[in-house]
A = this chain, B = another copy of it.
Amino acid sequence: MSEYYSRRNLDFLLKEVFDLESLLKLDIYKKHDLDGVKLMLDTAGQLADTEMRPFNEEMDRNDPKFEEGKVKVHPQIRKLLKKFGEGGWISANASEEVGGQQLPIIVSSCAQFIFGAANYSASVYPFLTAGAARLIEEHGSEQLKSTYVPKLYNGSWQGTMAMTEPDAGSSLSDVRTTAEPLDDHGTVYSIQGQKIFISAGDHDAVGNVVHLMLARIKGSPEGTKGLSLFVVPQKRFTEDDQVVMNDVTTTGMYHKMGYKAAPIVHLSFGEKKRCFGYLIGKPNEGLSYMFQMMNEARIGVGLSAASIGSAAYYGSLNYAKERPQGRRPDEKDPNAPQINIIEHADVRRMLFFQKSVVEGSLSLLLQCAHYADMAKAGKEEIKEIYRLTLDLLTPVAKSYPSEMGILSTSAAIQILGGAGYCKDFPIEQYFREMRIHTIHEGTTGIHGIDLLGRKIIMGGGIAFRAFTEEVSKTIKKVKLEVIELSKYGEKLNDALFRLQNITMKLSTIAMKEKKEVFLMDATLYLELFGVVAIGWQWLLQAIPCQIAVNENRGDEFYNSKLHTMRYYFEYELPKTEAIIARLNSSDRLLLEIDSKEIL
């Protein structure tokens, strides 16, 4: 079994960076302890090693088939979903009351990272189910809960998120699927419409597929304010408990560049007007419920991107350690033995680049998970601030790993050279799979607008202030307690200062000018924010490493972390300068021109 993630790194982040021990003392998590978590991650690793990893390439080469209106997936998926159900992985974050594990999100995120690194496409099925189940659990009626949640948690049914339509992708306000009441209680509706790009939207590894769907109740307002959330199963129960088909038709399956083992389908609802949907929560509030699932899914996308990047990193690292090619630049003797390519500066640069992206991303994602846990379990008076910081960081934690992951898996290919471009190694598969992440759960452009146009300005900038305080706390800690790192603390402080300045400048534009001027370069702002946020996470990670070195507990792991932090501050953080140069410019090319003059 080739290495595809670092368990030591997961343990390091959990214990030495995010102080899991303290978290586990909080009321709702106190049934868990560090030993229990260790065992759980051991189990996750075994599951990944035995049931996921060995099928990674096979599933890529053997796409799901769509025949006679049915989607047939790899037989291992059924086995896997059963194992995920039995192992409690789908209900990991659910409360004990409903049979869940009540596990901190930071811990289940580590397991998800392992699963994604082992076999990304396969890891998507249970992840989607978990999200759907938690949404029903939190906002659904008792009847919906008892009908759907247990079957979802035990892996016999599949959950999905059904939002996108042919004319409503990024623009959710254009959702046209309709819902018409079938009873007087406002619970059962007749659904009609089309949904596209639905992951795991139909397949033969489960007994039923349960769609969490956005639709518009007839008479509701236009735009996102008129969207309601429904449970729309593929098969439903009649009043006398018979199972009948619910008029949900799979009209097509997409053929994708990667991420192939999970079928993405086009669904048609209510062609015969026999499709029932069950309202969740209040009418017209669907988007706010859906956002709970979407926000989790966004963090999930970031985790998936980081996990694929991890597999590519280890693939290329192990190759670089074993592949002899060339000699040192100062070696003049052509008879001298070739050296392994890990000795070449350029290969090292590409390795550090990958490691800085993958482990920096993972750290930010676990930071988000930590905030989510604290917002759930922490003291009442500070919950809100954790929630806000998580909200602010969600677009960053989704987009940085996804965008940079394209480059980091590309660097992995480059290290292998021609071999990296061929199917003998899984690296090219990682590169193909990575490319989906800047698209699903909101494109990078949408997240730029979310960050700058919504999260930065919300509550008069309260979340942004909370974020800068968190970063400043880390810088201060370094300055006072880990003097060896203070040079990097100063660099981060500079970058943070410049981020604050440009944020202020943009906020002024927001007040004075049209929204389109304010948001013109929102994607670049998101990129800038990401580089600074990951710099913060590297400094944060460096603290326990430097302390270990100072206390003579240093080892290769800690040194490698310190080298990567140094790499990041030398090679990656300067990229902020280029972005800031642009953001400071007053040129409004993108708004001033006529579309006819793009040709």
A567 touching B589 by the CB < 8 A rule? yes
A582 touching B571 by the CB < 8 A rule? yes
Whether A502 is near chain B, meaning CB under 8 Å from some CB there, is no
Task: Give bound CA distance, A373 to B346, whole Å.
Answer: 34
A417 touching B443 by the CB < 8 A rule? yes
Which of the segments A22-30, A153-161, A288-296, A325-333 contacts the partner chain?
A325-333
- Beyond the given pairs A256-B422, A257-B422, A574-B579, 13 more chain A to chain B contacts, judged by CB atoms under 8 angstroms and listed by A's residue number, are A164-B418, A170-B326, A255-B423, A256-B423, A257-B431, A328-B516, A330-B515, A345-B519, A352-B589, A414-B439, A414-B445, A420-B439, A421-B435
Task: Give bound CA distance, A421 to B196, whole Å.
Answer: 14
- Provided the pairs A346-B523, A598-B563 are in contact, do residues A326 and B171 lie with their beta carbons within 8 angstroms? yes
B597 touching A169 by the CB < 8 A rule? no
Task: Give bound CA distance, A432 to B380, whole Å.
Answer: 50
B574 touching A335 by the CB < 8 A rule? no
Residue interface bits A89-120, CB-to-B below 8 A is 1, else 0: 00000000000000000000000000000000
Whether A508 is near chain B, meaning CB under 8 Å from some CB there, is no
A170 touching B417 by the CB < 8 A rule? yes
B330 touching A257 by the CB < 8 A rule? no
29 inter-chain pairs at a CB distance below 8 angstroms, sorted by A residue, are: A6-B599, A164-B418, A167-B324, A169-B417, A174-B334, A196-B418, A254-B418, A254-B424, A255-B423, A256-B421, A257-B428, A257-B432, A258-B421, A317-B599, A342-B595, A345-B519, A345-B520, A345-B521, A345-B590, A345-B591, A348-B590, A348-B593, A410-B435, A414-B438, A414-B439, A417-B443, A420-B439, A559-B593, A574-B582
A560 touching B597 by the CB < 8 A rule? yes
Whether A566 is near chain B, meaning CB under 8 Å from some CB there, is yes
Which single member of B259, B453, B579, B597 contacts A556 (CB below 8 Å)? B597
Which single member of B406, B567, B598 contacts A410 (CB below 8 Å)? B406
Whether A244 is near chain B, meaning CB under 8 Å from some CB there, is no
* Tally of this chain's copies: 2
B residues within 8 A CB of A518? Answer: 329
Residue interface bits A188-214, CB-to-B below 8 A is 1, else 0: 000000001100000000000000000
Task: Give bound CA distance, A542 to B345, whole Å.
Answer: 38
Q: Which residues of A from 544 to 566 have beta carbons under 8 Å from B?
A: 556-557, 559-560, 563, 566
Whether A413 is near chain B, meaning CB under 8 Å from some CB there, is yes
B residues within 8 A CB of A523? Answer: 346, 349
B residues within 8 A CB of A259? Answer: 421
A317 touching B598 by the CB < 8 A rule? yes
Whether A351 is near chain B, meaning CB under 8 Å from some CB there, is yes
B440 touching A257 by the CB < 8 A rule? no
Residue interface bits A422-447, CB-to-B below 8 A is 1, else 0: 11100010011001101110011100
Which single member of B171, B325, B410, B563 contacts A171 (CB below 8 Å)? B325
